[in-house]
Chain A
Amino acid sequence: MMLETIWFVLWGVLWAVYFALDGYDLGLGTLMPLLAKNETERRVMYNAAGPFWDGNQVWLITAGGVTFAAFPGTYAALFSGLYTALMLLLFALILRGVSFEFRRKVDSAAWRRVWDTCHVLGSFLPALLLGVAFANIFKGIPLNAQAINEGTLLDLLNPYGLAGGVLFVLMFALHGALWLGVKAQGEIARRAARAAAGLWLALVVMMTLFLALTAYYTRLFDNYLADPVLFVVLLLPVAGLLQARRALAQEKMGHAWAASAVAIIGVTLFGVTGMFPALLPSSIDPAFSMTIANSASSPKTLTIMLGVALVFVPIVIAYQAWVHVTFSYKVTEADLAYEEAY
């Protein structure tokens, strides 16, 4: 069970890192109609995400690929079980992805409006859908003995699922506003900081509500009550949020952004820890849940994959960190005039 447990942890961490990275560029897209007042400001927002969004999105592909490789049973049940929600997520991400590349390739305001709309919807919807999906995963979906989801898309939109959706939208929006604070200057940077302060308050309220609902709708706290040491995981989102507010007040936007990343990682790990050893709990009968015992790959595959992950994931983290540092400069007029800019 050791290998399976290691992979369970890695699986949770991969999703957490994905949310912490793609979260801010999805948040930027979501906030665009609220924070950008004109074309220049919209371009500042596009270019704040510019050098990073594509690399960030690969964490989703990797999280999906690792689910497939390490827990094929979960991958099969999860992806077919959430079919329509995942297809909507996919279409949204497709439209968002091309909007970066297409919008500046034809010089027309109407053309740009089309891709701006795709960009905003394609950023907001993934945040919402990922939140709804993960809240439902935390809660469990009606998985039967054949690992088939007996529920429908509408069943995902239960109060807890919706709360998860709102939580993710707020989390990503705050994360995006803080990143805009890092990358922008002048009026839009001040607007981003003000928005971040408001979003922070809304997020604190929403997170408290979500925790209360979690106790009511899910069995996540069972693991914590069985082994109270686990409650340290909850320190991550709490400390992350407090630190984010402090750094924001001191106008240290980079620190605030990093603290917000810790909070997002903490929320994800809080849910994942509560689910252990299930990756996809069944709300019909815990015996039907997809767990590390009944859905994992063979020890041989897990060992080979572990070798690959231990060597290459640190390399990926190193060069992505280098990119974030190298390209964390403030977006200036000169940067916008640069012909390759978005």
Chain B
Amino acid sequence: MDVLLLSRLQFAFTTFVHFIFVPLTLGLSLLVAYMENRYVRTGDAEYKRMAKFWGKLFLINFALGVVTGIALEFQFGTNWSRYSSYVGDVFGSLLAIEATLAFFLESTFLAVWIFGWKRLSPKLHNVSIWLVALAANLSAFWILMANGWMQNPVGYAIRGERAELASFTALVTNPFAWQQFIHTLCAAYILSGFFVMGISAWHLARGRQVSFFRKSFRIAAPFTLVFALVMVVQGHMHGAEVARTQPTKLAAMESLWETRTRAPQFLFLIPDPANERNRLELLPIPGALSLLAFHSMDAEVQGLKDFAPQDRPPVMLTFISFRTMVALGFLFPLVAAWAWVRRTDPERSPLMLRLLPWMIPLPYLAIQLGWIVAELGRQPWIVYGMMRTEEAFSPGIATGQVVFSLVLFALIYTLLVAVDIFLLAHHGRKGPEERHDVDDGSATATQPGGAGFTTATA
């Protein structure tokens, strides 16, 4: 084990954990803002209870999203110092802008939202959560412009011993980055929609708080369906952008070894990377890969053998991750369509109510798989075609230092993720407070022992 491998493991692990929490923040903030908006417009207190209940789950999730995010910003410097000094002129500004434009807004107004229920007018209070939702999605924009630049570097010039910014406009209009941005938002919204539908279905199946969860379901179902449908089209466009800019990633995603025109799409395929071929190829659709990648049946698709072995990404994991993600991407609109059909009377389909809670983990899985495709498929490059990962790590740190931090990350993150999932499940199952408890928190007796505070909301 050397510093390079350990640093890669550490970045991969900390990013995966961070991204367990990010998508729900992106989507649920919008849904909570919308629920509170309905409360402000209609005066229906049930919408206020909805904003509070889903907001509580949002906060439990958000806490870990924030703290695990700092770890990523630090690591560019701690573990990838050569990357940082080589591309900092281009890449660093995007991170700094993300913090200045988005993180301040998000963190400051989330606190305003938490502590402002009684101190602000309902309208102003609702504005604060809209600002949180805006800021969360804005931060996604800047960080994906940064990641998109690593995927498809544009707007830079090599001067002396580093890459320097040549065009900021090129940086923020990078077509690859925009595809990633839209792709990530759609994925996050689908995940958030299934999260709300899953928990609502669990309660509806037990006949609890029926009106409350029916309303929640009614909001989440169309939201999920719209983005699940957009994703099918957009996912294809994103793939075509990969084909245009990252031929090695595309070839690994499809496990295509030989360059060919009219490349078929095999519905079933088992790669055999050791022998640079596929062990099994079944059910071909003639010309489909050429058509999907380049919008022409006759287009040539480059195979992995066109590239030197040291320029290829790992095939097996990229391939499996991509296939599974795509399969899930087709499953989501089907289930979401079913839920949409039953959006006003979900209890009439007990089977659907039983299925939906089990759907919750699947968008999480699809998103993590998507990041494996994006990041592992980019290898051996840290910046595609420009800088290799093996050239990017910090030369001054010792193996022992990275072992130390990696072990602590593993311990602390595992613990925190376990606690977080426990809390989400605990509070998700418990459901919202009964109606009469909502507005009289101040009437609750305060006991020095402290137990009184928490039982008051039970």
Residues on A facing B (Cβ under 8 Å): 38-40, 43, 50-52, 54-55, 57-58, 60-62, 64-70, 72-73, 75-81, 83-84, 86-87, 90-91, 93-95, 97-98, 100-102, 104-107, 109, 112, 146-149, 295, 297-298, 300-301, 304-305, 308-309, 312-313, 316, 319-320, 323, 326-327, 329, 333-334, 336-341
Q: Give Cα A312–Cα B96 distance, bound, in whole angstroms.
A: 12
Contacts A39-B448, A65-B92 given: A319-B408 contact, CB under 8 Å?
Answer: no
Q: Give Cα A68–Cα B98 distance, bound, in whole angstroms.
A: 12
Which residues of B sit under 8 angstroms from A102, Cβ to Cβ?
60, 63, 419, 423
Are A68 and B76 in contact (CB-based, < 8 A)? yes
B344 to chain A, nearest CB (A): 31
Are B88 and A105 in contact (CB-based, < 8 A)? no
Which residues of A sit under 8 angstroms from B166, Cβ to Cβ?
300
Which residues of A sit under 8 angstroms from B355, Cβ to Cβ?
none
Pick the 10 closest A-B CB pairs, nearest first.
Answer: A72-B88, A79-B77, A39-B450, A148-B396, A101-B63, A68-B92, A69-B92, A107-B454, A76-B81, A65-B96
Q: Specify which of A62, A98, A147 is in contact with B96 (CB 8 Å cutoff).
A: A62
Q: Give Cα A101–Cα B63 distance, bound, in whole angstroms.
A: 7
Q: Specify which of A38, A301, A305, A341 is in contact with B164 (CB 8 Å cutoff).
A: A301
A113 to chain B, nearest CB (A): 11
A196 to chain B, nearest CB (A): 24
List 9 additional A-B contacts (Cβ < 8 Å) besides A39-B449, A68-B91, A101-B59. Answer: A54-B108, A62-B104, A68-B77, A68-B95, A79-B81, A300-B166, A301-B90, A316-B108, A327-B115
Are B394 and A80 in contact (CB-based, < 8 A)? yes
Q: Which one of B229-237, B333-341, B439-447 is at the interface?
A: B439-447
Are B107 and A64 in contact (CB-based, < 8 A)? no
Which residues of B sit under 8 angstroms from A61, Cβ to Cβ?
69-70, 73, 99, 103
Contacts A54-B107, A102-B63 given: A43-B70 contact, CB under 8 Å?
Answer: no
Q: Give Cα A39–Cα B59 distance, bound, in whole angstroms.
A: 23
A82 to chain B, nearest CB (A): 8
B450 to chain A, nearest CB (A): 3
Q: Specify which of A76, A112, A338 is in contact with B85 (CB 8 Å cutoff).
A: A76
Q: Give Cα A327–Cα B108 distance, bound, in whole angstroms.
A: 12
Which residues of B sit under 8 angstroms from A65, Cβ to Cβ?
73, 92, 95-96, 98-100
Are B104 and A58 in contact (CB-based, < 8 A)? yes
Does B386 sit at the interface, judged by CB under 8 A?
A: no
Contacts A76-B77, A106-B423, A298-B165 given: A146-B100 contact, CB under 8 Å?
Answer: no
Are B67 and A64 in contact (CB-based, < 8 A)? no
Query: Can you offer 12 A-B residue contacts whose CB atoms are under 8 A?
Result: A43-B453, A50-B111, A62-B103, A69-B96, A72-B87, A76-B82, A87-B404, A106-B426, A146-B396, A297-B165, A309-B100, A340-B114
Q: Give Cα A146–Cα B404 distance, bound, in whole angstroms.
A: 24
Does B302 sit at the interface, judged by CB under 8 A?
A: no
Q: Specify which of B107, B446, B451 is in contact with A336 (CB 8 Å cutoff).
A: B446
Q: Give Cα A54–Cα B82 distance, bound, in whole angstroms.
A: 31
Does B269 sit at the interface, judged by CB under 8 A?
A: no
Does B412 sit at the interface, judged by CB under 8 A?
A: yes
Residues on B facing A (Cβ under 8 Å): 52, 59-60, 62-64, 66-71, 73-74, 76-79, 81-82, 84-85, 87-93, 95-101, 103-105, 107-112, 114-120, 159, 162, 164-166, 168, 394-397, 401, 404-405, 408, 412, 416, 419, 423, 426-427, 433, 441-444, 446, 448-451, 453-458
A188 to chain B, nearest CB (A): 12
B61 to A, closest residue via Cβ: A101
Are A40 and B450 in contact (CB-based, < 8 A)? yes
Q: Give Cα A76–Cα B59 distance, bound, in whole angstroms.
A: 33
B316 to chain A, nearest CB (A): 32
Q: Give Cα A109–Cα B448 distance, bound, in whole angstroms.
A: 12
A239 to chain B, nearest CB (A): 29
B96 to chain A, nearest CB (A): 4
Are A90 and B95 in contact (CB-based, < 8 A)? no
Q: Specify which of A54, A68, A87, A327 is in contact with B110 (CB 8 Å cutoff).
A: A54
Contacts A98-B63, A106-B423, A313-B100 given: A83-B397 contact, CB under 8 Å?
Answer: yes
Which residues of A sit under 8 angstroms from B81, Cβ to Cβ?
76-77, 79-80
Q: Specify which of B90, B95, B104, B396 is in contact with A320 (CB 8 Å cutoff).
A: B104
Are A55 and B100 in contact (CB-based, < 8 A)? no
Which residues of B sit under 8 angstroms from A297, Cβ to Cβ?
88-89, 92-93, 164-165
A-B contact count (CB 8 A): 265
Are A75 and B84 in contact (CB-based, < 8 A)? yes
Q: Specify which of A50, A60, A312, A319 is in contact with B100 (CB 8 Å cutoff).
A: A312
Q: Is the interface of B mostly helix, strand, loop or mixed?
A: helix
Are A86 and B78 in contact (CB-based, < 8 A)? yes
Q: Give Cα A122–Cα B95 distance, bound, in whole angstroms.
A: 25
Which residues of B sit under 8 angstroms from A109, Cβ to Cβ?
450-451
Which residues of B sit under 8 angstroms from A67, Cβ to Cβ?
77
Q: Give Cα A43–Cα B449 distance, bound, in whole angstroms.
A: 11
Q: Give Cα A64–Cα B88 distance, bound, in whole angstroms.
A: 12
Which residues of B sit under 8 angstroms from A84, Cβ to Cβ?
401, 404-405
Which residues of A sit under 8 angstroms from B52, Cβ to Cβ?
339-340
B119 to chain A, nearest CB (A): 7
B327 to chain A, nearest CB (A): 35
Q: Give Cα A73–Cα B164 distance, bound, in whole angstroms.
A: 13
Q: Specify which of A86, A148, A304, A323 is in contact with B93 (CB 8 Å cutoff).
A: A304
Are B97 and A308 in contact (CB-based, < 8 A)? yes
Are A107 and B408 in contact (CB-based, < 8 A)? no
Are A80 and B397 in contact (CB-based, < 8 A)? yes
Are B165 and A90 in contact (CB-based, < 8 A)? no
Are B412 and A94 in contact (CB-based, < 8 A)? yes
Are A93 and B67 in contact (CB-based, < 8 A)? yes
B232 to chain A, nearest CB (A): 36
Are A107 and B451 in contact (CB-based, < 8 A)? yes
Contacts A43-B450, A58-B107, A313-B100 given: A69-B93 contact, CB under 8 Å?
Answer: yes
Are B423 and A104 in contact (CB-based, < 8 A)? no
Which residues of B sit under 8 angstroms from A327, Cβ to Cβ?
111-112, 115, 119
Are B78 and A55 in contact (CB-based, < 8 A)? no
Are B108 and A320 in contact (CB-based, < 8 A)? yes
Which residues of B sit under 8 angstroms from A146, Cβ to Cβ?
395-396
Which residues of B sit under 8 angstroms from A62, Cβ to Cβ?
96, 99-100, 103-104
Q: Give Cα A65–Cα B412 distance, bound, in whole angstroms.
A: 24
Are A300 and B165 in contact (CB-based, < 8 A)? yes
B95 to A, closest residue via Cβ: A65
Which residues of A sit under 8 angstroms from B111, Cβ to Cβ?
50-52, 54-55, 323, 327
A104 to B, closest residue via Cβ: B454
Are A64 and B112 in contact (CB-based, < 8 A)? no
A296 to B, closest residue via Cβ: B89
B87 to A, closest residue via Cβ: A72
Which residues of B sit under 8 angstroms from A107, Cβ to Cβ?
451, 454-455, 458
Which residues of A sit under 8 angstroms from B110, Cβ to Cβ?
54
Contacts A304-B93, A323-B112 given: A94-B107 contact, CB under 8 Å?
Answer: no
B93 to chain A, nearest CB (A): 4
